Amino acid sequence: MSPTTRYLCGAAYSNHDFAEEVIAELVENGRRAVVPAIGYDLGPVLRHCYRARQLWFGQNLIITVILFLGVILAFASTATLLLFALAVVGFSHLLNSPARSNWRIAILIGVILLLVLIAPALLQLVASVAPDSPLLPGDDGPSMTAVIGWAVGLALAVLGTIAATRRTVLRTLTQDLAPERKPADLPSAPADRLLARHRVETVEEAQHGNIVLHSGPDPFLGAGRVTHAWSMALELRRDNAAGQSAERAADDRVAVDPVALNRHVKRCLAALAGTDLPPHERLAGLALRDQIMAAGTRWRKYPLIDQEFRLPYPYATPQAMEAIIRAPQTSARHFLRATVGAENREVVEDKGTTIMPAEYQNIVVSTFTHIAVEGGMLYVENVSTVLGPLRQEFLDIDQYAPGDENGSEPLLQALRTFPGSTLLAPVRLLQAISRAFSVSRAMGRAERDTDSQPVYDFGARAEARQLASAPRPVTYLQRLDAEKYSKLMERRISEAIIGYLRNNGIDTAEYETRMNVFNNNGVFIRGDNQGAAAAGTGAHALLNQNTPNQRKDGQRAGAGAQK
């Protein structure tokens, strides 16, 4: 199990929302495409999300039953327990809030006072419903000792439930998901719903595909933020055709096979991690794959949709891939994706002594290269992206050691989460029940809609690794790593294209000039900004990261300045 797979599996137990988001994206709509998983296995992640959901459901169900029985048998004690939990949660939130303001404290105190004021009315209501309850306050109401005793008893029952759940979670993190442990038997898919179980199996197969149908404007799902992009158009003329007339230059055009050029670029990129390099010079974790990208809103008979099962095809055959590369006018576009993760690699001296241990850096840098031959010209497009590191809360599973589940750690975690878990248990239980029905309805609705509607959105909306990641590199060194790997891959891509064109006798002077400007421009990284800077006569900074609206505003401002 790769480190990324392990951390994502553990994230399901660390954060309720992450597990629900993964299940909602991958299972609720069984007709959506699946974003290819690079560097991790999506199957174990999805199965652990289901197991975590079952654990949280069981915990919330038991706590809700305890509170319900407490309301029936000892309302005053249950109300005392809930008011105590509310006060702890409120004050904890205020103390941990970065902006502590008086109005927040006033609102919290007002809510607590309001609950205290309406408590007598609630007690009278319960007395009318269950007048025989021995612990309802009244003329012969319970003593303070009885109220506190029942409140403590209820609290211990809730605390024991939370501690038992935390013990199971810790055992999973330290045993099933231990770093050195080989993959064991995975949690089973949901056995109570045939459609959900079948969908999990479909996702496990589709994650290795090479077709990405995307919902929304972003085709680079799972790759993070676009940091910069460049494109180049070049006349495919012979090296000795410079300065000739258009008619003569047309006669000197050279035919270039875009498939062969793509394969050449792929081989050159693979050499960055080649075995002919010393081990410490190889790019660790380099992954290369051809991908077909297209918008997901399609008609049912679209060639990338399986007509029998009404599912997006996850794989394109080599013949189909080559046909799309040679026909760039279609709505489906080919990209050569190169991905590098700043993966863990130890530093070892010549004698074999470890100088620096392997550490998990977990940023992901990708380049997407599109090559097209059209109109007797070569068009090259390159997009660089950076996916930020996994959020720190998901990396904290490393702080637990085998055996912690048998010590005091489950109880300590139960004490820390007791107030919030007690208050939210009924709400989360209702949400889980509602979600179970909504998932069944959503899956059934997707079945009907894909069968009846002429156009349907089959595109993927999110990717599990990106759901658990920070939106951008967190540390300065991570930013430098992202820039380094982007530059290395972009430079290799440019040199591979230039070398291929030269070997085919094509004039590359214009291409080399433009790429030298791009590759040699300085890039400043300071604070939250990074971008190109050029200096000197005729220098140009090509990296324009403005949004479309910003570019329009800039054009209007420039026009006004000229007037």
Q: The tokens of 80 are what? A: 């005392």
Cα–Cα distance between 147 and 143 in angstroms, integer?
A: 6
More confident residue, 183 or 232: 232
DSSP of 154-197, one letter per residue?
A: HHHHHHHHHHHHHHHHHHIIIIIT-TTPPP-PPPPP-TT-HHHH
What pLDDT digit, counting tens, does each position of 421-431 carry? Answer: 888 889 899 98
Overall average pLDDT of the 431-449 stretch: 79
Distance in angstroms between the alpha carbons of the first and the last residue of the chain: 63
Entry field: residues in the chain:
563
Cα–Cα distance between 484 and 246 in angstroms, integer?
A: 41
DSSP of 262-291, one letter per residue?
A: HHHHHHHHHGGG-TTS-GGGS-TT-EEEEE
Report which residue type is found at 403.
G
Q: What's the pLDDT score for residue 61? A: 94
More confident residue, 128 or 516: 516
Q: The tokens of 433 are what? A: 């029940």
Q: Which residues contact 107 (CB under 8 A, 6 or more apart)?
A: none
Percentage of the chain beyond pLDDT 70 is 74
Local confidence band at 554 (pLDDT 50, 70, 90 cut-offs)? very low
Q: What is the mean pLDDT of the chain?
A: 79
The DSSP element (H or E) to which 109 belongs, if any, is helix 102-129
In the three-class reduction of DSSP (H, G, I as helix; E, B as strand; rest coil), residue 508 is classed as coil
Local confidence band at 97 (pLDDT 50, 70, 90 cut-offs)? low
Overall average pLDDT of the 21-44 stretch: 88
Cα–Cα distance between 22 and 175 in angstroms, integer?
A: 23
Residue 72 half-sphere exposure, CB side, CA atoms within 13 Å? Answer: 6
DSSP of 40-93, one letter per residue?
A: S-HHHHHHHHHHHHHHHHHHHHHHHHHHHHHHHH-HHHHHHHHHHHHHHHHHHH
The alpha-helical segments, DSSP class H, found in 453-547 are 464-467, 476-503, 509-520
- Residue 108: name the closest of 136, 79, 87 by CA: 87
- Residue 498: name the closest of 484, 510, 486 by CA: 510
Report which residue type is found at 383.
V
Backbone angles phi, psi at 374, to 5 degrees: -155, 135
Q: Which residues contact 322 (CB under 8 A, 6 or more apart)?
A: 259
Percentage of the chain beyond pLDDT 90 is 29
Q: What's the pLDDT score for residue 308? A: 80
Torsion on CA atoms 287, 290, 295, 301, rounded to nearest 10? -130
Beta bridge partners of 377: 235, 374
What pLDDT digit, counting tens, does each position of 141-161 carry? Answer: 556 677 788 888 888 999 999
Local confidence band at 533 (pLDDT 50, 70, 90 cut-offs)? very low
Q: What's the pLDDT score for residue 133? A: 52
Q: Does pLDDT of 520 surpass 80?
A: no
The DSSP element (H or E) to which 364 belongs, if any, is strand 364-374
Q: What's the pLDDT score for residue 372? A: 94
Q: Does pLDDT of 65 surpass 70?
A: yes
Overall average pLDDT of the 280-302 stretch: 86
Cα–Cα distance between 460 and 203 in angstroms, integer?
A: 12
**Measured at the alpha carbon of residue 368, what is the angle toward residues 225 and 229, in degrees to the nearest 5?**
60
Cα–Cα distance between 322 and 262 in angstroms, integer?
A: 10
| 301-to-206, 224, 304 alpha-carbon distances in Å | 20, 31, 8
Q: What's the pLDDT score for residue 245? A: 53
Q: Does pLDDT of 70 surpass 80?
A: yes
Q: Say which residue the tokens 């891939």 belong to.
A: 321
Q: Say which residue the tokens 């290819």 belong to.
A: 36
